[in-house]
Amino acid sequence: GAGVSQSPRYKVAKRGQDVALRCDPISGHVSLFWYQQALGQGPEFLTYFQNEAQLDKSGLPSDRFFAERPEGSVSTLKIQRTQQEDSAVYLCASSFPGTGVNTEAFFGQGTRLTVV
Amino acid sequence: AQSVAQPEDQVNVAEGNPLTVKCTYSVSGNPYLFWYVQYPNRGLQFLLKYITGDNLVKGSYGFEAEFNKSQTSFHLKKPSALVSDSALYFCAVHSSNTGKLIFGQGTTLQVKP
């Protein structure tokens, strides 16, 4: 596709339920980032992949959060036993060729997760 | 630690007037600064960036930003605002280690006709 695609766009989960959020980056983009954007806040970094390698997961808020990118393209962010504080918009971004300052990150529309 | 601050939650301007959205930064080393815009139900869109060189950076949709090292600021500007510029604007600093962006809290720009 032409841009970064995320699905689903909206997800309502009951507290304690597991969810999986998908990101299709721009074809050929090496770097992939996940961010969490709480209501009224700026996006906060969660994790970063270079191809299939997860090089930085320092922003994941707890061990309930898990991300993977097994073939170096599509990525999935999984949240286990969701809590109300997990309610946020989850943004995915990709860039090519890497992480250099001259590369521009392209963002998807995000998945709005509401935990009830 | 690297950080950016956007001191204004909201900026209101009349259409046709100049606009400024403020951003200050705190970084160790060279600052690599970005502005993104977020329209409702849409992803973040890149506006412009400062890496090095001229302190006045020109970007998309007629926006520009002025890098001021002594004041550690990177304010976003536009000479003549449009109603369609109304959106949420984020300033960000780039982390050279991993390429992640560290965002400010965001400023809502409201342009009234």
- What's the rounded Cα separation, in Å, for the pair B11 and B18? 12
Q: Which helix (H) or strand (E) holds A22?
A: strand A19-24
Per-residue pLDDT of A59-110, as tens digits, reads 999 999 999 999 999 999 999 999 999 999 999 999 876 556 667 889 999 9
CATH number of this structure's domain A5-110, picked from the four choices 3.30.1780.10, 2.140.10.10, 2.60.40.10, 3.40.50.720 = 2.60.40.10
What pLDDT is stored for residue A89 in this prediction? 96
Please enumerate, as own/partner, the contacts of A40-43 that have beta carbons within 8 Å and a separation of 24 or more: A40/B105, A40/B106, A41/B105, A41/B106, A42/B90, A42/B92, A42/B103, A42/B104, A42/B105, A42/B106, A43/A91, A43/B44, A43/B90, A43/B101, A43/B103
DSSP states along A38-77: -TTS--EEEEEEETTEEEE-TT--STTEEEE-TTSS-EEE
Q: Pick from A107, A109, A111, A112 the residue to mutate for testing the B interface (most B CBs within 10 Å).
A: A107
- What's the rounded Cα separation, in Å, for the pair B21 and B1? 23
Cβ–Cβ contact A5 with B under 8 A = no
Instruction: Looking at the complex, report in whole angstroms how far the Cα of residue A91 sits from the nearest Cα belonging to chain B.
Output: 8
What pLDDT is stored for residue A1 in this prediction? 53
CB contact under 8 A, A95 and B101: no
Cβ–Cβ contact A25 with B under 8 A = no
CATH superfamily of the B3-112 domain: Immunoglobulins (2.60.40.10)
CB contact under 8 A, B99 and A100: yes
What pLDDT is stored for residue B96 in this prediction? 66
CB contact under 8 A, A100 and B44: no
Residues of B in contact with A99 (CB under 8 A): 96-99
Please say whether the beta carbons of B5 and B104 come within 8 A. Answer: yes
What pLDDT is stored for residue B107 in this prediction? 98
Per cent of chain B over pLDDT 70 is 97
What the block records as the tokens of B74 is: 């990177």
Per cent of chain A over pLDDT 90 is 86
Q: Which residues of B touch A (CB under 8 A)?
A: 32, 36, 41-46, 49, 51, 90, 92, 94, 96-106
Residue ranges per domain, chain A? Answer: 5-110
* Partner residue facing A31 (CB), from B36, B44, B99: B99
CB contact under 8 A, B102 and A95: no
* Partner residue facing A107 (CB), from B43, B94, B106: B43
